[in-house]
Structure 1
Amino acid sequence: MFAAERRQLILEMVRANGAVSLRELARVVQTSEVTVRRDVRALEAEGLLDRRHGGAVLPGGFTRESGFPQKSHLATAEKTAIADLAAGLVQEGEAIVVGAGTTTQELARRLARVPGLTVVTNSLLVAQALAHANRVEVVMTGGTLRGSNYALVGSGAEQSLQGLRVSRAFISGAGLTAERGLSTSNMLSASVDRALVEAAAEVVVLADHTKLGTDTMFQTVPTDVITHLVTDEPPLADDRSATELQALADRGVQVTVASLNGVENLQASGGGGGRRRDLSPPLPVPRRHPHPGQPGGGMPGGPLRSAQLSGEASAARIADLAPRRR
């Protein structure tokens, strides 16, 4: 493929998806990431796209949101690795919330094997992945359907989450920076994500390396609220993503990186500077049982039930999800 043909294809992919990683571009045009990076620089010089950490985005500073069909085909291997690690954080009998997104959909497919689990979600795709799971209860919010990502949004979704208290929230987004935290390009989605986070004692962000260093219009979770980030290993030449990960760790976020060799837990730099990466054993991750009375104390198992929270019935149904003190 000639350089002009490669660059035209790269430009078409960025225009179709909003943001594409160098790794994905190299795979599609069947060349090296070094060559793709050179092509991206040339296109940026012409004002046709902007470079970002490990990828390229539409010009104009903030990235726009891709539709579900486009996002579902991006970074699929990375999302699978992230979902595998995140599923190991979920305990038997736990009550959690799971937001909308292609990565959280992958997580939901793995949660189907966790008995006694209660999952509250505004995502039709998450609910569908768990619909036939044995001994998993699915509770859906109310709201208005947003077709681009199959999520329920609006005041109905937010009101149905009031009074809810669960152990963890698993959410994704369009961008993640140490300075601003997690963000998305849609105001309604951002508002519901904030309501999901408010309901949880801990916040786990699932974001592949293409999201690192990307900033979008609406902040959903500031960095100091993020408990844990599960991500994939950035390309070797992508020093900026590695720097962003270190900055997140230095801000107190527990960063777990999926790699071919296992799981890397990135810790905050000490007084002497430099980065410390402790290579932990692969999954399964040991499961810790919370103390009685704390969030995440578990909920009784039972057959699958799908419920929708709406109107006055929402408050009563949500109250049942709160962990009971012994």
Structure 2
Amino acid sequence: MAEENRPAFAAERRERILELVRANGTMSLRDIAVKVRASEVTVRRDVRALEAEGLVDRRRGGAALPGRIGHEQSYAGKSEQCAAEKAAIAASAARLVRPGDAVTIGPGSTAEALARELASHTDLTVVTNSLRVADALLNAAGVEVVMTGGTLHGPIRALVGAAAEQFLDGLRVNRAFLTGNGVSADRGLSTPNPAVASVDRALAGCAEEVIVLADHTKIGADTMVPTVAPEMIAHLVTDNRADPEVLMTLEETGALVHVAVVMDARGQ
């Protein structure tokens, strides 16, 4: 009887996995395993079966919707995914900011988390094209916020286009904090949208060093448009669920990798 029940249980579990991937765009095997209450080994087998049916694409340590390389997930979806990891990454990245700094901060939910961490800083100038970043710093008395011009790109609540790029041309800041949808040793930081990528390059181009913020679901992933070449990434801030082998390849390109420990991983 137990043997007869296994196929039905597996089918229900795979349907749930498919629902999760469709809702989030991409997910790590670990996060899927927690959601469906199964081992990562079982989930990996399920993902292979779903890939064989053309329903998902396997990625290093996770699964994505087919054709995910060109897909831009909604801001709400990205904000809800890996919230604890993003908070830990933001806290770690904030320690790289010094009094008197001028920094650029790009769009994204992890960048917004960083802005919230920086709200208590003093003698800091933040240049950003992100409405969410600016809003997070709205009441920060010690932070001067400078917005670029540009055209609003709704999915990420950010300003893009020629006006934003022209505003950044000629500026010089200490550090640029950027996020994206993937970061790898082969292509560096990447994003699905060409307009977003173009402004990201401008944000990076006016900085003395570039700091990439990427949770474990982005590590080893590639998306359509490269923004920052691997050798231009001075620091990579990620979480302790990132694939250590991929982190080693990124270190070999010259990036200093900072691994933030998520609170629940400490048993707290």
Same-fold call, TM cutoff 0.5: yes
Aligned: 1:40 with 2:47: yes
CA distance in 1, matches of 2:128, 2:236: 19
Larger mean CA deviation between 27-36 and 200-209 belongs to 27-36
Aligned: 1:84 with 2:75: no
CA distance in 1, matches of 2:116, 2:68: 34
Letter paired with 2:255: V
Aligned twin of 1:114: 121
Aligned twin of 1:246: 248
CA distance in 2, matches of 1:35, 1:252: 36
Aligned: 1:154 with 2:161: yes
Letter paired with 1:21: S
CA distance in 1, matches of 2:204, 2:134: 18
**Cα pair 2:210 2:234 within 8 Å, conserved:** yes
- Secondary structure of the residue aligned to 1:134 is coil
How far apart are residue 5 of structure 1 and its match? 1.7
Specify whether residues 174 and 260 from structure 1 end up closer, same or farther in structure 2 by C-alpha distance, changes over 3 A only.
closer
**Consecutive unaligned residues in structure 2, runs of 5 or more:** 1-7, 264-268
Alignment of structure 1 residues 53-72 onto 2, 5 Å:
53-60=60-67, 62-72=69-79
- Secondary structure of the residue aligned to 1:20 is strand
**Cα pair 1:75 1:208 within 8 Å, conserved:** yes
Specify whether residues 260 and 72 from structure 1 end up closer, same or farther in structure 2 by C-alpha distance, changes over 3 A only.
closer
Aligned twin of 2:191: 184
CA distance in 2, matches of 1:60, 1:98: 28
CA distance in 2, matches of 1:175, 1:52: 11
CA distance in 2, matches of 1:233, 1:63: 27
* Equivalenced residues, count: 256
- 1:140 aligned residue (138, 144, 147): 147
Alignment of structure 1 residues 165-180 onto 2, 5 Å:
165-180=172-187
Specify whether residues 38 and 168 from structure 1 end up closer, same or farther in structure 2 by C-alpha distance, changes over 3 A only.
same
Larger mean CA deviation between 75-84 and 30-39 belongs to 30-39
**Cα pair 1:112 1:129 within 8 Å, conserved:** yes
- Secondary structure of the residue aligned to 2:186 is coil
How far apart are residue 103 of structure 1 and its match? 0.4
- 2:222 aligned residue (215, 232, 238): 215
How far apart are residue 25 of structure 1 and its match? 1.6
Q: CA RMSD in A?
A: 1.6
CA distance in 1, matches of 2:135, 2:230: 30
Greater RCO structure (CA 8 Å; 6+ sep): 1
CA distance in 1, matches of 2:205, 2:102: 14
**Consecutive unaligned residues in structure 1, runs of 5 or more:** 236-240, 262-326
TM score, norm. by length of structure 1: 0.76
Alignment of structure 1 residues 262-281 onto 2, 5 Å:
none
CA distance in 2, matches of 1:201, 1:194: 13
How far apart are residue 260 of structure 1 and its match? 5.7
- Secondary structure of the residue aligned to 1:115 is coil
